[in-house]
A = this chain, B = another copy of it.
Amino acid sequence: MKLSIRKDALNEAISHVSKAISSRTAIPILSGIKLDAASTGLTLTASDTDISIQSFISLSKGEQTLITLDKEGSVVLPAKFFVEIVKKLPSEYVELEVFDQFRTLIRSGSAEIELVGLDPEEYPILPRLEEDKMFTINGQVLKAMIRQTVFSVSNNESTPILTGVLWNLNEGRLKFVATDRHRLASTEADIDTAADLKLEHLVIAGKTLNELSKIVADDVMVDIVATDNQILFKMDAIMLYSRILDGTYPDTSKIISQSYKTELVVQTDRLTDAIDRAYLLSREEKTNIVKLVTIDSGTIEISSSSSELGKVTEQLEVKRLDGDDLKISFNSKYMLDALKVIDSDHIHIGFTGMMSPIIIRPEEDQSMLHLILPYRTTT
């Protein structure tokens, strides 16, 4: 392999694939980035076995030459050092040349770096996925759906299936659900796909979706190919492969009540700020417990207390308050997480009693829902 490449193009590709590099890997070759130079361009690959990312740099972009290729070939270079040194090379161009035993020379301006490369034949081959289950989604929509759900996945590795987001595609409607057993987030959107394409029980790790979010640009279309155990996200020059989580996702449809005993509509930012202040105090107690009490037909009170520090109390006017009087306690951190991803001016909160799930939705949008289990408290 021998080529000269624009440093900025190489850096951009590195920044994409490096999201799949794990600092602790049991498989030595995976601590490297694989470079494949072919007649069409240079492909970079990185993988931590759960996620694999490929980024392709073509020989030219419009009028601009990105790569001058002298000799095709492949090599695996030590990822951590390669990522850092390329950023700091002095010239706009980088020469890469592979010698015997994958010894690789990097030249840029006056700097000359000799790297101990590894055999690309030892690098795992990425799966070839059958493209019969494929659909396309707008990058901005995909990122919004991830943002609205992924924070609710479980961090507890003892129930691996809950560390993922459940995807469901039926009659052109894509739905995401995430829950850690204390809260749940769900969102859905219409997408442009063949009406008979149906996906069920597809659970994708929250970690994969977080990395995907960082890579997807707003203005691209993402092709998604699903098989039984792998999913592939294809964007312009980037491909992200991830395995699908094993196991059965719990049926959450029954815990979401359709009728409420108490309903309230309130300005999102004012509620967020009031709960944030109460949260600050409850956090000192390490409970995060905040209380919501109805005062009269137009007012609620948000409060928290700490035996050592004191208490925070705040009354809020609501736009609408219907149904029974209510006194309820909940984890304010969970409530803030949900409120933060709701962009609507007003939110609707539905209660079916002190011990039943709290349902939070944007006021005029049924496609998104957040659920929080209340706390059992004595006061």
Contacts and interface: CB of A to CB of B under 8 A. Distances in A.
Interface in A290-316: 308-316
A345 interface: no
B314 A111 contact: yes
Contacts of A59: none
Interface in A269-285: 273-274, 276-277, 280-281, 284
A114 interface: yes
Given A88-B273, A90-B273, A276-B88, A284 B112 contact: no
Contacts of A90: 273
Contacts of A311: 113-114
A126 interface: no
Given A78-B309, A81-B309, A309-B78, A280 B88 contact: yes
Contacts of A281: 81, 85, 113
A85 B274 CA distance: 11
Interface string A111-127: 11111100000000000
Interface string A16-31: 0000000000000000
Which one of A112, A284, A310 has the highest number of Cβ atoms from chain B below 10 Å of its Cβ?
A: A310
A84 interface: yes
Interface residues of A, number: 33
Contacts of A277: 85, 88-89, 111, 113
Interface in A94-124: 103-104, 110-116
A333 B61 CA distance: 39
A110 B315 contact: yes
Given A113-B310, A114-B310, A284 B315 contact: no
Interface string A171-204: 0000000000000000000000000000000000
Nearest to A317: B110
A93 to B, nearest CB: 16
A316 B85 contact: no
Interface centre among A89, A103, A113 (most CB of B within 10 A): A113
Nearest to A273: B90
A116 B309 contact: yes
Interface of A: 78, 80-81, 84-85, 88-90, 103-104, 110-116, 273-274, 276-277, 280-281, 284, 308-316
20 contacts: A78-B308, A80-B284, A81-B280, A81-B309, A85-B280, A85-B281, A88-B273, A88-B277, A88-B280, A90-B273, A111-B277, A112-B312, A113-B281, A113-B310, A113-B311, A113-B313, A114-B310, A114-B311, A114-B312, A115-B309
